[in-house]
Structure 1
Amino acid sequence: MRVACVDNGSNAIRFVVADFTSPTDYSIVYSLREPVRMGHGVFIHGRLNASCMDRALEAYQRFKGEMDRLGVSHYRVVATSAIRESSNGQEFVDLVLKKTGIQIEVITGSEESRLALTAIKSRIPLGTRPWIIVDLGGGSVEVSLVDDSGILWSESHTMGSVRLLEDLSETSQDPGRFRRVLSEYISTLRVPSVIGQKKPAGFVATGGNIEAIAKIAGLEPNQDGVTVLSVRQLEATIDSLSRRSYRERVEELGLREDRADVILPAAMVYERLASLAGVAKLYVPNVGIKEGVLIDLVDDLSGHRKHEAELEAGIENACLRFGRRYFFDEAHGKQVTNLSRSLFDQLSEIHGLPEEKRRILTSAAMVHDVGSYISRKKHHRHTYYLVKNSEFSGLSPQDIDLVATVARFHRKSDPTPDHDAMNQLDPEDQEVVVKLAPLLRIADALDREHKQLVRSVKVNLRKDAVVFEVDADGEFLLEKAHFKKRGELFTQTFGPKVKIQLRRL
């Protein structure tokens, strides 16, 4: 299977075409690295400059030509912090689509972590003990705690190599002073106590800079493609880099010009995080986001249903971790999630939404009450704010907006087009919210007492009504009363009246 990917980073744009013979075995057919520093200016002025956009567009036109020449029909293009943070990033995305037909997907830091983990697992068996993963790019550094089951915790810091270089540009001409100021700047980097609760099984570092550092240290990958770099070797490389000027790094160390200026900030970020983690060595797998994109794409193409199920499970775990951060009622969140999933599947004939929208509903179901952390009063509004301003592994920024909005309408106001939360969405996404909010309200009503009385729900579609046959414990009086009130939006949206019947087994 031949696939391609583009990793549109802050320091360069990478294009890869690969032939896969199995889900993780592949050979590179063609690769191209375009040294377009799209982060230049973004982290200071907040906009992509015109020159970078022109050069990047030319790169995408070359990518399109190569995909046509090589017969590539399946590909994925992702963009990270530079485009994500720029005020005119969408303008660039639209321009590339118009000129080349290539759709750029702007991903979150959490999605970067997921893709990096996908690539790492193809090289390093993680097992059940937690590992630390540090993925450093030009605009941000993603720090994650993971094991073989997935991401246990993740956080994105705005401390990428290009960003650091631009923030401290006034001192960059004096190597010694630059290192001192950089050291002070990086010392503010912290990782939450979750990292120090248990000694990690290992520390994995990804990114082009750490691969270059390992080569400067004279190291070669082992038979699995992994390079092991000790912290002492990293520190020695930092000393060597800091004694050299930019030009000396290019001429004496053989670094590319767009690597020579950012490698010292990158090395010091890795050293700082390794020190905080208390590790003696770093594992460099020599793969990263672009390889993760390829492997993830092939996994989806090879078995879409299985891939979707795994993705949905990962998203559910991310939402669960989010809820725990705000001390939510976990049992209630899980119950409403399970009921929502069941209702979505059984009512597909009525709502007509594609299967991938189920993850929007189940995510909203899991987190719908987290706003109670701020105040029980108007907690649906607080939930909306918290979710909308957070990241979830596996969810795009557009998905997160949908999850926040569906959760917002689990109670009180109806999702009308003129509502403040709704008018920020395009018409297609508004329709998704309109169809999912009634399902969430019914699922929430069926656990009104937060006692998980419902064991299962069977939906019967009749001519005059939709009947929800509920297998539940107890009298179920409060749930029945709440169901009647919460079911009004269902009738208003879809037409049929709703009825509830108790089934006794």
Structure 2
Amino acid sequence: MSKLKASPPTEHPISTVPPGTVRTVAVIDIGATSIRMAIAEIQPNGEFRTLDTLVQSVELGREAFDNRRLSRHSIERSASVLKRYKRVLREYGVTSPKDVRVVATTAVREAINRLAFADRIYVATGFNVDPIDEAEVSRITYMGVMPHLRAHPELADGKSIVVEVGGGNTEMLIVRGGNVLHSQSFRLGSLRLVKTLEGVRASAPRRRAMLESHIRRTVLQITDAIKNDTAIHLIALGGDMRFAAHQLLDDWDGNSLALLPTAKLEKLTEKLLSLNEDAIVKRYNASFIEAETVGPALLSYTLLAKHFELTNIHVCDTNLRDGLLHDMAVGGTWTADFRNQIVRSALSLGRKFNFDESHARNVAELARKLFDQLRGEHGLDDRHEVLLFVAALLHEIGMMVNVRSNHKHALYLIRYSELFGLSRDELLQVGLVARYHRRAYPQPAHEAYGTLPQSERVMVSKLAAMLRLAIALDDTRSGRVREIRCVIESKRLVINVPGLDDVSLEQVAMRENSGFFRDTFGLPVLLRAGKLE
């Protein structure tokens, strides 16, 4: 817990990246209490090695959580810190914007002048600040923590609750057998807890009771999200728990998954809560903001562990910056495993609305095949294939609300759902693709569509046009059309259906549903039975 920290080089195995020269990159995390930077080398063999980490205390959360506005002083303080970081990056030879990713979490995201903040940082440093939402934080956390979980087979027995108590929010993933069962963000953070006690004149026991009351409400919310049907493991992330592990475990190397007895954590928490901030700063070489927040953060972990009657807590050294570095190392692509987690989450949502799962899966698979075979026409990347697949799975969930306007209700339900791995922007895009699976073509006056930039409007139209073709191919809802072969012939798209001699029903549906594709891609569509010659 220091103001400026340089860590030893650390190697992290990740998915293989294309061979090439070593690439030096950096990630910067603008949080509620500090601005942190990690500099790393991405190796040709698919590993990254951390070269340096820097931390500077900047209390953005104190203002954002109080009045939802960042002061001019705080903005300039942040710009000053980032200017210094940029000078350090030049010393490491990092000068290209593509080699630096800057993200902001809860504090900046909740500030009403977040755009002014981002603009000022850009003017001062050239850095583009990305205020990532809870879904993106969950995705990045998943990428950082899963290698640790896979390295410990004993955690496969039961559910792992991965929790990080940050300055503004508590992030949670529920993982079982390598699969994410649930992800959620709670408005419980160490700095928020400190803010609840500001101006309160009360004895130490009374202040402690107030903290516990706030924390227990969130613990109950977490409990509601977890079925008590198997053993539970608690995996704690965050600097506060790493600090506790270093204090209590003499043999922890700081990299492996540590096993921390709950009883020991409780005693340390009691000691920290009994000390004032000045004493914590002096005894533990902490910054003042760290001294303020470490007690409430550790109390949150302790009460969560005690609620589930856990004798030990696993402490993981990974952090948001590790996940960001993993993301940069794979070029921002979604791995097959991560894609599967998104699809699992979409299927779970569909089942909540009693969707026709067989039809939805058939349409999704056909949409995927259309996407793959028409890459030369649509020019989209693999992320968009996932968005199309999810939209295809969920395009009829609005039927439970209203059959006549089910496409409009599908947009609403998807847009405001919690799908693991998809950001709010991506959920909107999926919702719009599902919204245009039938009836009207996109119009500027339609909800949300007209506010999209042109590139996203075109992307939504391309995906929705392909979705309509996939729906027509399964018009009988029998799943009899499984394989397709697409070719461009005489300025038209010909979809051949191998193995079927009669596709007359599907041809009728295709004539009714292919107009959007024709208008988007400039290609009429012909559906043809029989094998491709």
Of 474-483 and 350-359, deviating more is 474-483
Letter in structure 2 aligned against 1:488? G
Q: Return closer, same or farther for 1:355/1:433 CA change in 2, 3 Å cut-off.
A: same
Secondary structure at the aligned position of 2:442 is classed as: coil
For 2:227 and 2:447, the matched residues in 1 are separated by 42
Of 347-356 and 60-69, deviating more is 347-356
Tell me which residue corresponds to 1:272: 303
Q: Deviations over 1:433-468 (max 9, x none)?
A: 122211111112222343322211211211242122
2:44 is aligned with 1:44: no
For 1:192 and 1:449, the matched residues in 2 are separated by 43
Instruction: Give yes or no for contact 1:135–1:205 (8 Å, CA) kept in 2.
Output: yes
Tell me which residue corresponds to 1:451: 478
2:368 is aligned with 1:341: yes
User: TM-score, normalization: structure 2?
Assistant: 0.86
Secondary structure at the aligned position of 1:454 is classed as: coil
How far 1:204 sits from its partner (Å)?
Answer: 0.7
Instruction: Give yes or no for contact 1:417–1:430 (8 Å, CA) kept in 2.
Output: no
Q: Return closer, same or farther for 1:369/1:269 CA change in 2, 3 Å cut-off.
A: farther
Residue among 144, 157, 180 paired with 2:173:
144
Q: Deviations over 1:327-359 (max 9, x none)?
A: 333333322221111111222233233444323
For 2:434 and 2:215, the matched residues in 1 are separated by 37
Q: Return closer, same or farther for 1:259/1:237 CA change in 2, 3 Å cut-off.
A: same
Q: Deviations over 1:167-189 (max 9, x none)?
A: 34233874322211111122212
Q: Return closer, same or farther for 1:372/1:491 CA change in 2, 3 Å cut-off.
A: same
Q: Deviations over 1:260-293 (max 9, x none)?
A: 1112221222123223434221111222111121
How far 1:193 sits from its partner (Å)?
Answer: 4.9
Residue among 432, 435, 438 paired with 2:462:
435
Residue among 410, 414, 439 paired with 1:412:
439
Instruction: Give yes or no for contact 1:15–1:33 (8 Å, CA) kept in 2.
Output: yes
Letter in structure 2 aligned against 1:208? G
Residue among 277, 281, 294 paired with 1:250:
281
Q: Return closer, same or farther for 1:197/1:165 CA change in 2, 3 Å cut-off.
A: same
How far 1:220 sits from its partner (Å)?
Answer: 4.4
Tell me which residue corresponds to 2:342: 315
2:189 is aligned with 1:164: no
2:135 is aligned with 1:110: yes
Tell me which residue corresponds to 2:104: 79
Instruction: Give yes or no for contact 1:23–1:298 (8 Å, CA) kept in 2.
Output: no
Q: Return closer, same or farther for 1:280/1:371 CA change in 2, 3 Å cut-off.
A: farther
For 1:326 and 1:292, the matched residues in 2 are separated by 33
Tell me which residue corresponds to 1:290: 321
How far 1:429 sits from its partner (Å)?
Answer: 1.2
Letter in structure 2 aligned against 1:132? I
Tell me which residue corresponds to 2:229: 198
For 2:295 and 2:355, the matched residues in 1 are separated by 42
Matched residue pairs, number? 501
Q: Deviations over 1:135-159 (max 9, x none)?
A: 2211111111124634222111111
Letter in structure 2 aligned against 1:406? V
Letter in structure 2 aligned against 1:330? E
Gaps of 5+ in 1: none
Residue among 380, 403, 419 paired with 1:376:
403
User: TM-score, normalization: structure 1?
Assistant: 0.90
Q: Return closer, same or farther for 1:15/1:199 CA change in 2, 3 Å cut-off.
A: same
Gaps of 5+ in 2: 1-21
Of 404-413 and 171-180, deviating more is 171-180
Q: Return closer, same or farther for 1:245/1:326 CA change in 2, 3 Å cut-off.
A: farther
Aligned-residue CA RMSD (Å): 2.7
Tell me which residue corresponds to 1:177: 206
Alignment of 1:59-74 (within 5 A): 59-72=81-94, 73=96, 74=99
Residue among 340, 359, 363 paired with 2:386:
359
Instruction: Give yes or no for contact 2:61–2:191 (8 Å, CA) kept in 1.
Output: yes
Q: Return closer, same or farther for 1:76/1:238 CA change in 2, 3 Å cut-off.
A: same
For 1:90 and 1:318, the matched residues in 2 are separated by 31
Secondary structure at the aligned position of 1:268 is classed as: helix
Q: Deviations over 1:217-265 (max 9, x none)?
A: 4554158533321221222222222222223322344432111111222
Instruction: Give yes or no for contact 1:388–1:400 (8 Å, CA) kept in 2.
Output: yes
For 1:63 and 1:442, the matched residues in 2 are separated by 50
2:259 is aligned with 1:237: no
For 1:313 and 1:94, the matched residues in 2 are separated by 36
Secondary structure at the aligned position of 2:60 is classed as: coil
Alignment of 1:383-398 (within 5 A): 383-398=410-425
Of 173-182 and 31-40, deviating more is 173-182
Tell me which residue corresponds to 1:262: 293
Instruction: Give yes or no for contact 1:468–1:500 (8 Å, CA) kept in 2.
Output: yes
Tell me which residue corresponds to 1:97: 122
Q: Return closer, same or farther for 1:453/1:279 CA change in 2, 3 Å cut-off.
A: farther
Q: Deviations over 1:41-69 (max 9, x none)?
A: 22232223322222112222222222222
Q: Deviations over 1:87-120 (max 9, x none)?
A: 2223322332343222222223233223223323
